[in-house]
Structure 1
Amino acid sequence: MAAPAPEDTYDKVLSAAVELFAEHGFAGTSLQAIADRVGVTKAALYYHFRTKDELLDALLRPALNDLDRVLDTAERRKGQAARQRLLFEGYVDFLLRYRTLAVILDRDVSVGTHPAIRPRLESITGRVRGVLSDSERPIEFRVASTVAMGGIYSAVAMFPELPDDELRGLLLDIVRRLLAPRRSRPAASPDAA
């Protein structure tokens, strides 16, 4: 049997790394374990990735590039409400496209805080805050939009069994309801408690 082509090995290494990171965490997964899962020697793995940091970067770079594109689209849109809508829709689609990575990031804090990834995530977080910040809106809306972003992420990680289209519809409906303008409510009477 012929040895797999280098491109095949590269893709298989990435797939095995995602599986093992999901099972054992980033710190709990060795390059040897990844090589064993793929069925190649550690030297063959080193041909593609010298370190786990390089492997982590190769796994997350395409996803983070996609998230940057979501933010680019939202930031270019005129009107704060339109920017925010595009951000939420794009973020839901992004997380569904990269569900396994979202679960890994949710369950393994060491990945999101890893020096190879952290600066990029901090930059993205700053851009998200920029799109969501709207000093014209009441504080209730700003808090709700922050809750929505975190909730979307958590729901994608918590409900991996739900089909993408069903979860997408649920999430976007919940975000719309959460961020819908509220009518003024009468102040509660002190005697009501």
Structure 2
Amino acid sequence: MAGRRTDTRERIQQVALELFAERGYDKTSLQEVADRLEITRPALYYHFRTKEAILASIVDGLGDSIDELVGWAREQPSTVESRREILRRIAGLLENQWRPLFRFAQVNQGVMRDMPAGARLQTGVISMLSLLAVPGADAVRQFEARLAVFAVILGSVPFLFEMDLDESERARVALEVATKLISDE
């Protein structure tokens, strides 16, 4: 039974995020989320009482995955290959989980700024930015390391790049650029 409840919560989160992106967070109602899911409002309320609770749970999930990535990365040796693997993992998480929420956060910065979970997300992203910096590196190399993380993240935002690339190709190019930024060449 717990598996079904988790699946339903994940479906609610996914559909709500789609609607928030399509219609805007402020213009989306819980009724619209329930209608898209083809469930009743009481069934939706069983899992989430408010759209704020839905969004907070999505952001908390992202925060948890960032915390896991940062924890793992801090245990790795400071090598070029480790930094490349960190970038690959960030790109993989964008591909599998983060992309819709990062898009939402970019378009709805005011909503994210006003949420406690938004502050956690900001802290997590700042922690990620420092993962690729080589201790003792000069300011240019430290800046390049931070830009590498942004390159991977921004590669998932289609409206920033007027390029004739599909989503997966744009993500591949972004990872390649990011990898060049952290190389020792």
Q: Give the alignment's TM-score, normalised by structure 1.
A: 0.76
Q: CA deviation at 1:94?
A: 1.1
Please name the residue that 1:178 is paired with.
Answer: 181
Query: For 2:82 and 2:112, how far apart are their aligned partners in 1?
Result: 26
- What does 1:22-171 correspond to in 2, within 5 Å? 22-79=21-78, 81-98=80-97, 99-158=99-158, 162=166, 164=168, 166-171=169-174
Q: Deviations over 1:38-95 (max 9, x none)?
A: 2333222111111122111222333332222221211101225455333322111111
Q: CA deviation at 1:111?
A: 4.3
Identity %: 24
Q: CA deviation at 1:135?
A: 4.9
Structure 1 alignment gaps of length 5 or more:
183-193
Query: For 1:43 and 1:163, how far apart are their aligned partners in 2?
Result: 37
Query: For 1:178 and 1:7, how far apart are their aligned partners in 2?
Result: 39
Query: For 1:80 and 1:55, how far apart are their aligned partners in 2?
Result: 39
Whether the aligned pair in 2 keeps the contact of 1:14 and 1:55 (CA below 8 Å) is yes
Query: For 1:73 and 1:14, how far apart are their aligned partners in 2?
Result: 26
SS in 2 for 1:173: helix
Q: Give the alignment's TM-score, normalised by structure 2.
A: 0.78
Higher-Rg member (1/2): 1
The number of aligned residues is: 177
SS in 2 for 1:34: helix
Q: CA deviation at 1:124?
A: 0.8
Query: For 2:25 and 2:181, how far apart are their aligned partners in 1?
Result: 34
Query: For 1:129 and 1:102, how far apart are their aligned partners in 2?
Result: 15
Whether the aligned pair in 2 keeps the contact of 1:13 and 1:38 (CA below 8 Å) is yes
Query: For 1:18 and 1:145, how far apart are their aligned partners in 2?
Result: 30
